[in-house]
Amino acid sequence: MSNSNRQHPQAPGKLYQFKLVLLGEAAVGKSSLVLRFVKDQFDDYRESTIGAAFLTQTIHLDDNTTVKFEIWDTAGQERYKSLAPMYYRNANCAVVVYDITQASSLEKAKSWVKELQRQADPNIVIALAGNKTDLSSRRAIEREDAQAYAHDAGLLFFETSAKTAANVNELFTSIARKMPLDQLAPNSRLRGSLLNNKGVDLTNPPQNNNYCAC
Amino acid sequence: MPLTPFTLQKIISDLALEEAQQQSSTPSQTTTSASSPISLFHRRTNANSGGAGSGTRFGSGIGWGARDRVTVETVEAWENNIYVGTSDGHLIHYVLEDQTSSENPIPKSYLIDKQKLGFGRKLVEHSTLSFYALPEMTPLPVSAFPHIKGVTCFTHDLAKEGQTETDGSVKLCVLKKRTVHEFSLLENLVECSQSIPLPHGGIVCCQYGSSLCIADSTHNYRLIDLDCKRMIDLMSPQERSSIYGSGTFKPIVTVIEKGEFLLNTTIGQFMSSAGEPVRGVLQWTSFPRAIGVEYPYVVALLRNNTIEIHNVIDQNLVQTVQLAPAEARTISQGPGIKVWVSALLERLRWENGFSYKDDDNEDSHDFEGENERALSSRKSDDASKEDSKNLPSTPEISQLDFLATVPTRIIIAARDSILALAPSPLILQVDSLLDANRIEEGLAYADEAVSRLTDNVHRKRMQHELNYIYQKSGFILIGETLFDIARDSLDRGHTDPRVVIGLFPDLKRLVDKDCSLHVYAGVKVILDRLGSIDDVVFKSLIKNYEPHIKPNVQSSPATQGLRKQLLAHANEMLQKYLTKDRENRKSSKGPLSELDRNILKAVDNALVQLYTTSDSKEPLISLLKDENECSLEDCEHILSNYGKYYALSLLYQSKKQYAKTLKIWQQMMNNEKPDPDFKDGLKQMADLLTQTDDSDLVWEYASWIISKDQILGAQICIRPNLRKPLIVEPNKVIEALGSVGYEGLTMYLEHLVLQRKSEEESHHTKLLLLYIGEILRELEKDEDKSKLIKLTKEFQYISKNSSMTYISFLSNRPSDDGISHARLKAIMFMQQQSTRYEGKAILEKLLESKQDLYPELAIIYGKLNEHEKSLHILVDQLKDYRGAEAFCLYAGRMIGINRKTSELLSPAKLKRQTADNQRILEDKRLIGLRKALFLKLLKVYLGMKNGDDSVDQIVDLLNKQASYFDIVEVLRLLPEVWSIEMLSEFLIRSLRQSYHDYRESQILKGLLRGENMMVNSELYKAYDEVGPIVITSNLPCASCNKIITDSMVLRQPNKDIIHLHHKNNESGSSNRADVPVEAE
């Protein structure tokens, strides 16, 4: 894998690579959003994701700027929740998805946002996406409520439909635009480097471990 | 058609597991050499009797299968050793023999070596790591290799697979309950090099470089950097049961490639050594029991007894292998054992490339009946093929061995057998496509494989496979008369050009049958089917046009034309192919191998024939001009038949048969063998001759060339390298050149005289005569017959106001003045470059010419020591007073040479006369000569008619050269009437000079006297110190012991008194060491 360099000197413009993670409750349409974005396809019946899926898509912001998203589409089922930190740990941006027809899914989304804000990269750009606008007849969450929440939490907000493709590209493009392209801290994504300043120092383990030190 | 990257091969069947218990301690008969003393090998613990979760690397089958039946639990391979661990705590050691035959797809011959090791007992004690020496699993002494207890799992650094650390050790990473230890395994001991506390422990681990990836029994994956001793969590446990159903799971960690792990949960997650998820995920239909990696493939043995193989790059499932139910236990990944694939042999076996279509050499290739003949010849071909199946020679056997065995890293332990998952050779899969005439698809696979080709154990064999595929495709395409595409394929398959040449009936004789020529057996089948290129074309015409063309394909003019065209295309293809191959072969560095030479010979010969018949002049010429491997016999014939005489001559030249080359050139020039390509014939001949050392040959053609072009002729005879002798006797050349003109002769003589410094007077004289001849010719050319007189006048006018001599006047003439230049050349030669010419002959020539060549005459007279005549000419005729002065100054040798050149010349001269004395003598002689000459000049001046002019010159001369004149003599010569003022300067100078000389001699005298005094005083002092020597009447001589009777004695430094004559004898006879015996 050669994605260690975010900016390629070749080509007229610059190529930025971002790691993007999709989070959200099961069956809100994360994989469908990605499939629409990456392949412009839609399946009415999709099997639920196992573990996570990995896709990439490149968009051109303008003549000089190309953004490549490395997208980790996580599984929404509860049993995979433990895998999520691995994917968002060094993500540059995240899309938290809820289903506008499922009131509980926004609650779940809010908890994801909280977790991201607590544990992910402090500079992470988070977008909240209310999916399935094609089913607006069954809407359970008002757009305004979600938008207000997004505004308070400092999130990008879109209502999307993977089925009709509404707002899908807009969602990803505005994330790309929101990315601080110029002042990306070089250590925002540690690639290829070893665990120099991360993780637990084994020679001097913290004292408050919850296992017995025998 | 999707390719299946792997083939399952059984390598050991019917493992005698139960017997193992009875046949204990059979003596080892293993013959494999233990090339490495390093006992790095994975422990096989057997936890049959309740290891209680003590993680064993191969323990995934724990609790599986019938407990009452002994099963294989684990397998490992090292070189061609296979070690099988059984569920009852035995280890069975197999040695695979290298296979040389492949009658049976399951190899039969093994050396089986079963050992009951004390394994069970030792390893029942939980989680103990003990060390054994390979290949025989001899336990190593516990004193040096203590058992390591409490081990949960261990690994070695996969980045160092097959290598050791710089100190020759192997590092082993061992996990215990709460710690990670690094052990160094040396030849004679094991030691713990580092310990790191590890809070959670782990049951599996995998190390690549400094990254250690571990997992505990609850599927907590963690990454540890062993260098900076830090750890991060990678993945946390998840609810597995709901995904694959219940059952014990074992986490799996494998290395994909450098810095990348594959962690196994419900999905396979690729993880960089920085702890980043990368690449994507793998999904299996069931939970993997074991995973092996053969990049770019991941082989997973699933719990449902299938093997799923994914491509790492796109994470797609590429192959599924179903095993018998409950058969497979685990996968092991070794450094590679050799597995025999018989199908490879059938295709890649080398066969003699000559046997095909050998018998239709004599066939005439007319159209009639070609079809039947082709058929019949093929039949006889088959027969001959049977005959030609000789036993392969030794190198061929090793080639077979190499090609037919596939290194296999992935070994699968089944319940009672061992399977290998061999990478299935591309060739087998593509070959079926080719046989189905799906060439393009086949080629596409090959191209893809080429792009994937990485440096690994498979590479060399892969190259053969690819060659096979490309070659076969190429020949099939030829069969379809798609020559252009075919050529590309042949090229990519590195096809031996001789094989391609062999397709062409009129060229195949050029392939040397004494040198081995190998063709893959599978390719040979195609070749045999193709027959010759004529057959190919004919068959293609039949196939495409047979029913439609009237009256039939053979006789229709349309197909006749088409046939010709196709054959031309085929020839063109061959030509291009050979040209490219030749380039490649030539451009490869290093000396050509025997094989290369043989191939190049066939290629060059074929190319000559192709170029000749297709009238491709330029490539033909350039081929023959450079170094080539053409054989004379083969090419001579065709070139002369086609009237390519120039090419033929170049062929001879490249073969160093210069006589033949020159002969042809001569014939071409005489229009006996006309060839329009031959240009600049004489020049080429000359170039060749100047490089030749055969004097007879050179002279034969040089004399001929001299008659055509004397300059070139002369050039041939000139050897610019002066260290090498001339190749032709100079007088012969001079005679020949002299008979045709003067230009060549001049050039040649100049070379002889000026560069080679010939000492023959005749050469110098001849050259000078030629120079003079040139002057005379120039004079004749000039319409103005009084040119010389005009020149002289002009000089006299100019020299009045400047101190120019006639020669410097000549050298300043404009370059279009041919006469002056010719004269200057002659004069320079006479004065500076040569001293050896015969003055008389020259003088005759000059006088004969009746031209007023005054300076020339003056020099000659000077040379003949008739100085007065010279001076008269210079003064009376030329009025070259400066020249005359210079003539005197340089003692008659040079008139008016520039000061600079004279200065440059003199030190060179001085150098030559190394002895100082000689130089002084020379100087004295020169001064004497100068004095005489100046006196003569003075007399000449005095004899001049023009009074005014002469007075000026005399005064000037006297003033300038006062030191050479004897004042008395001058005063006697000068007319009485001259006033003293006129001469005052000269007189003062002379007087001063003589007074100066007088004073100088006085000083010298005084100095010498003083020096004498000092020596005397030294002597007196010495006498004083020594004191008197008393000689008594009976004093014996220290040397002869006789009494000294007279006063002729010598006292030695040691105060011995001896006869004086002893001293003389001594110094005369003895060596120098005795000499410093001197009286004090």
Architecture of domain B6-344: 7 Propeller (2.130)
Q: In terms of Cα–Cα distance, which of B305, B419, B467, B345 is closest to B6? A: B419
Full DSSP string of B219-233: --EEEEETTTTEEEE
**How high is the pLDDT of residue B15?**
64
Domain ranges across chain A: 14-178
**How high is the pLDDT of residue B831?**
72
Contact flag A51-B283 (C-beta cutoff 8 Å): yes
Q: What is the DSSP letter of B380?
A: H
Q: Which of A194, A202, A211 is nearest residue B274 as measured by Cβ atoms?
A: A194
Q: Which helix (H) or strand (E) holds B601?
A: helix B594-613
Contact flag A191-B276 (C-beta cutoff 8 Å): yes
Half-sphere exposure of B682 (CA within 13 A, CB side): 16
- pLDDT band at A132, cuts 50/70/90? very high
Contact flag B236-A83 (C-beta cutoff 8 Å): yes
- B693/B22 Cα distance (integer angstroms): 87
- pLDDT band at B235, cuts 50/70/90? confident
Q: Which of B200, B267, B276 is nearest residue A50 as measured by Cβ atoms?
A: B267
Q: pLDDT per residue over B470-498, tens digit each?
A: 888 888 888 888 888 888 888 888 888 88
Half-sphere exposure of B542 (CA within 13 A, CB side): 14
- B295/B280 Cα distance (integer angstroms): 16
pLDDT above 70 for B1050: yes
Q: In terms of Cα–Cα distance, which of A21, A104, A190 is closest to B230? A: A190
Q: pLDDT per residue over B309-350, tens digit each?
A: 888 888 888 888 888 766 677 777 766 677 666 667 677 777
Taking residue A142's Cβ as centre, other Cβ atoms within 10 Å add up to: 11
**How high is the pLDDT of residue B554?**
67
**How high is the pLDDT of residue B1065?**
65
Q: pLDDT per residue over B163-176, tens digit each?
A: 667 777 777 888 88
Span B1057-1079, average pLDDT: 55
Span B814-820, average pLDDT: 73
pLDDT above 80 for A130: yes
Residues 6 or more apart whose Cβ sits within 8 Å of residue A26: A48, A75, A76, A77, A78
**How high is the pLDDT of residue B790?**
76
- B960/B957 Cα distance (integer angstroms): 5
Q: Provide the shortest C-alpha distance from residue B258 to chain A (in Å).
A: 10
Q: In terms of Cα–Cα distance, which of B148, B125, B122 is closest to B137? A: B122
How many residues are there in chain A? Answer: 214
pLDDT above 60 for B53: no
pLDDT above 60 for B704: yes
- B458/B448 Cα distance (integer angstroms): 15
Q: Which residue has the higher pLDDT, B868 or A193?
A: B868
Contact flag A50-B259 (C-beta cutoff 8 Å): no
- Look-up of token digits 């004073």: B999
Q: pLDDT per residue over B198-232, tens digit each?
A: 877 788 888 888 888 888 877 788 888 888 888 88
Q: pLDDT per residue over B391-449, tens digit each?
A: 344 445 555 666 667 777 788 877 777 777 877 777 777 777 788 778 888 888 788 77
Per CB-CB distance under 8 Å, the chain A contacts of B227 are 194
Is B959:B932 a contact under the CB 8 Å cutoff?
no
Q: pLDDT per residue over A40-83, tens digit each?
A: 999 888 888 888 889 999 998 888 888 899 999 998 888 888 88
Residues above pLDDT 70, as percent of chain A: 80
**How high is the pLDDT of residue B431?**
79
Is A83:B234 a contact under the CB 8 Å cutoff?
no
Q: In terms of Cα–Cα distance, which of B969, B819, B961, B821 is closest to B881? A: B961
Q: In terms of Cα–Cα distance, which of B191, B167, B189, B168 is closest to B181? A: B191
Alpha-carbon dihedral B920, B925, B930, B932, rounded to 10 degrees: 150
Per CB-CB distance under 8 Å, the chain A contacts of B259 are 192
Q: Structure tokens of B438?
A: 């799906």
Q: Provide the shortest C-alpha distance from residue A13 to chain B (in Å).
A: 25
- B238/B235 Cα distance (integer angstroms): 9
- B715/B751 Cα distance (integer angstroms): 10
Q: In terms of Cα–Cα distance, which of B259, B265, B209, B257 is closest to B234? A: B265
ipTM of the complex: 0.80
pLDDT above 80 for B723: no
Q: Provide the shortest C-alpha distance from residue A43 to chain B (in Å).
A: 20
Full DSSP string of B501-560: HHTSTTTGGGS-TTS--EEEHHHHHHHHHH--HHHHHHHHHHHHHTTTSSS-TTT-HHHH
Helix, strand, coil content of chain A in percent (nearest 5): 30, 25, 45
Taking residue B106's Cβ as centre, other Cβ atoms within 10 Å add up to: 11
**How high is the pLDDT of residue B378?**
36
Is B849:B777 a contact under the CB 8 Å cutoff?
no
Q: Provide the shortest C-alpha distance from residue A104 to chain B (in Å).
A: 22
The 3 state secondary structure assigned to B237-257 is CCCCHHHHCCCCCCCEEEEEE
Q: Find which of B173, B230, B271 to mutate to test the A interface (most A CBs within 10 Å of its CB).
A: B230
Contact flag A194-B242 (C-beta cutoff 8 Å): no
Is B278:B246 a contact under the CB 8 Å cutoff?
no
Class in CATH terms, A14-178: alpha beta
Q: pLDDT per residue over B616-656, tens digit each?
A: 777 777 777 777 777 777 777 777 777 777 777 777 877 77
pLDDT above 50 for B980: yes
Q: pLDDT per residue over B736-775, tens digit each?
A: 777 777 777 777 777 777 777 777 777 777 777 778 777 7
Sign, Cα dihedral of A108, A112, A117, A119: positive
Q: In terms of Cα–Cα distance, which of B821, B556, B269, B1001 is closest to A53? A: B269
- B72/B419 Cα distance (integer angstroms): 12
- pLDDT band at B525, cuts 50/70/90? confident
Q: How many CB pairs under 8 A join A and B?
A: 116
Is A124:A113 a contact under the CB 8 Å cutoff?
no
- B315/A50 Cα distance (integer angstroms): 14
Q: Which helix (H) or strand (E) holds B158?
A: none
Domain ranges across chain B: 6-344, 350-391+430-586, 759-898, 1028-1074
Q: Which amino acid is at B280?
A: G
**How high is the pLDDT of residue B1002?**
95
- B730/B723 Cα distance (integer angstroms): 16
Span B125-149, average pLDDT: 69
Taking residue B915's Cβ as centre, other Cβ atoms within 10 Å add up to: 9
Full DSSP string of B851-881: S--HHHHHHHHHHTT-HHHHHHIIIIII--H
Contact flag B199-A205 (C-beta cutoff 8 Å): yes
**How high is the pLDDT of residue B3?**
64
Q: Which of A51, A89, A211 is nearest residue B267 as measured by Cβ atoms?
A: A51
pLDDT above 50 for A204: yes
- B198/B219 Cα distance (integer angstroms): 16
**How high is the pLDDT of residue B137?**
66
Per CB-CB distance under 8 Å, the chain B contacts of A87 are 277
**How high is the pLDDT of residue B135?**
63
Q: pLDDT per residue over B541-561, tens digit each?
A: 877 776 666 666 667 777 788
Full DSSP string of B258-292: TTEEEEESSEEEEEETTS-EEEEEEE-SS-EEEEE
- pLDDT band at B19, cuts 50/70/90? very low
- B39/A170 Cα distance (integer angstroms): 61
- B272/B274 Cα distance (integer angstroms): 5
- pLDDT band at B16, cuts 50/70/90? low
Span B1043-1056, average pLDDT: 78
pLDDT above 90 for A168: yes
**How high is the pLDDT of residue B1012?**
95
What is this structure's pTM? Answer: 0.54
Q: pLDDT per residue over B292-316, tens digit each?
A: 888 778 888 887 888 888 888 888 8
Span B850-868, average pLDDT: 75
